[in-house]
Structure 1
């Protein structure tokens, strides 16, 4: 289900980490409110929002979510060795939280507006170093598998930025700042300053 551009209600899964567009994450599900969320997503073919926790924790009382998050779509699920449900999700479109409310079961639901999707554009000359850095990081991490990544990906400024934001050793507030930045080149500049 593709989100529309208008305001829409979205169940939230606040985390102590940032989910970036295109990034994968594994989530262990055991609280009833999140089991209900997964059931509803399965029935509706929908995703849910992941937001960084600003106050609170991942379990217990509802946490205060950051104002910008990422739509998470379930790609796979399994049972862990401990018997808990494990989801593999992937980040898709970014959104801004407008209002939140808490259901009786403790699940936070937000009215969100969808942020513009990134345009495909080449990195500026001063950011080409970042594409090469990403290529080397991927070669080191996965070896020969990097050849399967199409060359045009390294010429897509947004993709390069999101992958570096995922792989570099950034603090979660730094990742959140990148997630909140709408300007692709400004994101790359922040990353360049981090690695310089």
Structure 2
């Protein structure tokens, strides 16, 4: 299935099911959001990296226009619907300031994947937060969480978040986060141990001699 959608390129990765608040201030996007809201149409947020619009993005639904300012700027609430792949960017639309794209929607399996693997991922993310001294709570019970719910909490770079967006089964996404956490947690643990050693500041206290036969 292919269709045409207005696009709002941003330097972020949005996942299906994710809720995103936006402040709309550019004239072209004020027009786009006004059109989409009036016609109950969806729009797309493709990811921008290194000043390039990438082919993958997420279709977005406007759930609320929270505030309209006197100058036409808006605060809106949106929700990710599904992943799209751009086939062609349409830079000029008659009588419109904004651009669009012809897109297709890859088959994306959003099931439970492997519950045991998901538990490992959640445990890893909580260990990461503990090491970083962060306090974060997920919006769902653990048994209802999927990778899209927790991906932004795993310390991925923008490039890694984009790679994750391109994985089309839940098990692939779970494996991706598991490998990422297995890579970064030992590094952070070593950094914490290094900080502890630095705190000693060269002074060693309460050291007892070792009972060695020399």
Query: When the two structures are superposed, what TM-score results if normalisation uses the length of structure 1?
Result: 0.76
Which segment is superposed worse, 72-81 or 34-43? Answer: 72-81
Equivalent position of 2:78 in the other structure: 89
Give deviations 1:84-142, integer Å, cap 9, x for gaps: 311111111111100011126552210001122424234264443114456887xx524
Of 161, 170, 186, the match for 1:184: 170
Report what 2:112 is aligned to: 121
Instruction: Choose from 96, 102, 109 the match for 2:100.
Output: 109
Q: Check conservation: 1:20, 1:166, Cα contact below 8 A.
A: no
Could you tell me how far apart the structure 1 residues matched to 2:151 and 2:89 are?
Answer: 27
Report the CA distance between 1:82 and its aligned residue: 9.7
Deviation for aligned residue 1:55: 4.3
8 Å Cα contact 1:7/1:114 also seen in 2? yes
Bigger drift between 120-129 and 16-25 goes to 120-129
Counterpart residue number, 2:15: 20
- Partner Cα distance (1:195, 1:134) in 2: 7
Structure (1/2) with the larger strand percentage? 1
Find the counterpart in structure 2 of residue 175 from structure 1.
161
Larger Rg: 2
Could you tell me which runs of 5 or more consecutive residues in structure 2 were left unpaired when the two chains were aligned. 130-134, 183-214
Contact 2:17–2:79 (8 Å) recurs in 1:
yes
Q: Distance in 1 between matches of 2:70 and 2:49?
A: 29
Shift of 1:27: 1.3
Say what the alpha-carbon RMSD is for the aligned residues: 2.7
Q: Which residue of 2 aligns with 1:72?
A: 60
1:80 to 1:89, Cα distance in 2 relative to 1, 3 A: same
Offset, 1:150: 5.1
Q: Give the direction of change, closer, same or farther, for the CA distance of 1:163–1:119 in structure 2 (3 Å limit).
A: closer
Aligned length: 174
Query: Which of the residues 109, 127, 130 maps onto 2:121?
Result: 130
Change (3 A) 1:82 1:27: farther
The offset of 1:192, in angstroms, is 0.8
Contact 2:110–2:169, Cα closer than 8 Å, also in 1: no
